[in-house]
Chain A
Amino acid sequence: MLAINWFKYSAPSTFYGAAGKMIPWFAGASAILFIVGLYMGFFVAPTDVQQSEAYRIMFIHVPVSILSMIIYLIMAGYAALGLIFNTRLSAMMASALAPTGALFAFLSLWTGALWGKPMWGAWWVWDARLTSELILLFLYLGFIALHASIDDPRRGDRASALLAIIGSVNVPIIYFSVKWWNTLHQGATIKLSGTSMHVAMQQSLLTMFLACWLFAITMALLRVRSIILERERNNQWVMDLAEIKK
């Protein structure tokens, strides 16, 4: 059995090095998958009968939308870990994930608008999904803004962790309230055709999803390394780093 002491890597000093070793692998894999996924999305996947070529924006829209939600949950999970066990690294991971999550939420809205214009004839529709994605973006921005406006990083970690947890509890409530709000008052809800997808489409979607996921991991690791350096700058192990000594 492979015995790894996971707690060893919960210390920022050891995780800093480990993250540095992992980044090239995640970045490389993400780049390869992006190239493969984009090639498949543009050239292998067939043209859609109903939506012609415009549907291809799906290959970036769907992965970023799903990930923007998953990242929020992971961020809240890290925040909760940091709040409960008082581990420094968890809080750093939470604040490292937030900008990527916010970026994905924004990209999801942006690509959605670009897709909506040719398909629905409108940049924006007050559909339940669009609205809840917009609220998710606000929640990310609230998290980032609260963390940024507290000077003491420990208090900032704990306060924004509490906010992230409240947000994750509230997200289902918000989602359902928005859904009911929409269906109660606007009869026509626009839904995409629920027909089974072509295999090539599925595969390119999955490839792009993995590529985006690996990209998010890469960015989070890069950012957490900067955060570790910033927070631990007065510690001896940072002074001893080769890249600092130079």
Chain B
Amino acid sequence: MNSQLIAQQKSGADLSLTRLLILVIRRDLVLAMRRRADVLTTLIFFVIVVTLFPLGVGPELNLLRTMAPGTLWVAALLASMLSLGRLFSADYLDGTLEQMMLIPQSLSALVLGKMAAHWMVSGLPLVLMAPVLGLQFDMSAEALGILILSLLMGTPILSMIGSIGAALTLGLRGGGVLVSLLVLPLCIPVLVFGAGAVEAVTSGISPVSHLSLLGALLLLAFVSTPWVTATALRISME
């Protein structure tokens, strides 16, 4: 894949942004599919963390029902931290990242592609798994729907904010723990609005305000984080 990308580069600077995006996403997805265990680890981690909560607090359904949105969201947040280390490190170690930074197109677009691929591999499985886990917490169908919607809007933001941390800590010792320290405080708004939307539904309020704010955050992250991550990568690679 590496040589293919370089060959594409040599074929000229006429590679359009959309084609670059598709190329990067496809490449990262193929690489991820060759190492399925990594994808599964994130998902299993998510399931285990969620499962630990009822064991820790006790099996009363009333308690679990009120806890469910927060628990699922916190677990998704932690699980997405887990896979951040892989976002750039493999490309960094084998030198591909250096080659990628030479592309004539915008580095931000390439970073956006990597973020999208990262979300498909680590965020999307969590979204699909969440309703099953929500059933364990006896969540209503309505709440489950909003949970999926809020995770669908929120997990891309986690990937995008997380990629800034991953780029800043590229190649550092103890990078994994450091990423969590840097990124988790910045993810608090996502957690608040994501879990808030589900809680609003369960307490009978409209979740629209929370979801709108989550959507606003998604747009803000979409516009700003690829550029910030590209800047961080340039700082880390020089």
By a beta-carbon cutoff of 8 Å, the part of chain A in contact with chain B is: 135, 138-139, 141-142, 145-146, 149-150, 155, 158-159, 162-163, 166-167, 170, 173-174, 177-178, 180-181, 184-185
Question: Cβ of B134: which chain A residues have Cβ within 8 Å of it?
Answer: none
A181 pairs with B196, CB closer than 8 A: yes
A140 to B66, CA, bound (A): 33
- With A170-B186, A177-B193 as given contacts, are A146 and B178 in contact (CB-CB < 8 Å)? yes
- Main DSSP-derived SS at the B contact region: helix
Residue contacts A-B, CB under 8 angstroms, 26 given: A138-B184, A141-B181, A142-B181, A142-B182, A142-B185, A146-B168, A146-B178, A146-B182, A149-B175, A149-B178, A150-B172, A159-B168, A162-B164, A162-B235, A163-B168, A163-B182, A166-B186, A167-B185, A167-B186, A174-B186, A174-B189, A177-B192, A178-B188, A184-B196, A184-B200, A185-B196
A146 pairs with B169, CB closer than 8 A: yes
By a beta-carbon cutoff of 8 Å, the part of chain B in contact with chain A is: 164, 168-169, 172-175, 178, 181-182, 184-186, 188-189, 192-193, 196, 199-200, 213, 217, 228, 231-232, 235-236, 238
A146 to B182, CA, bound (A): 8
A177 pairs with B188, CB closer than 8 A: yes
Question: Cβ of B178: which chain A residues have Cβ within 8 Å of it?
Answer: 145-146, 149
Of the candidates A135, A162, A180, the one whose C-beta lies within 8 Å of that of B168 is: A162
A133 to chain B, nearest CB (A): 12
A161 to chain B, nearest CB (A): 9
Question: Cβ of A145: which chain B residues have Cβ within 8 Å of it?
Answer: 178, 181-182
B189 pairs with A159, CB closer than 8 A: no
- With A155-B235, A162-B232, A166-B228 as given contacts, are A139 and B185 in contact (CB-CB < 8 Å)? yes
The count of A-to-B residue pairs whose CB atoms sit within 8 angstroms is 68
Residue in chain A with minimal CB distance to B183: A142
- Main DSSP-derived SS at the A contact region: helix
Question: Cβ of B200: which chain A residues have Cβ within 8 Å of it?
Answer: 184
Question: Cβ of B182: which chain A residues have Cβ within 8 Å of it?
Answer: 142, 145-146, 163
Question: Cβ of A135: which chain B residues have Cβ within 8 Å of it?
Answer: 185, 188
Of the candidates B173, B185, B213, B228, the one whose C-beta lies within 8 Å of that of A149 is: B173
B205 to chain A, nearest CB (A): 8
A181 pairs with B169, CB closer than 8 A: no
> Knowing that A142-B181, A146-B168 are A-B contacts, what are 13 other residue pairs whose CB atoms are under 8 Å apart, sorted by A's residue number?
A139-B185, A141-B181, A142-B185, A146-B178, A149-B174, A150-B172, A155-B235, A155-B238, A158-B235, A159-B235, A170-B186, A178-B192, A180-B196
Residue in chain A with minimal CB distance to B195: A181
Residue in chain A with minimal CB distance to B175: A149
A-B pairs with lowest CB-CB distance, top 10? A177-B189, A138-B185, A181-B192, A177-B192, A158-B235, A142-B182, A159-B168, A142-B181, A173-B189, A135-B185
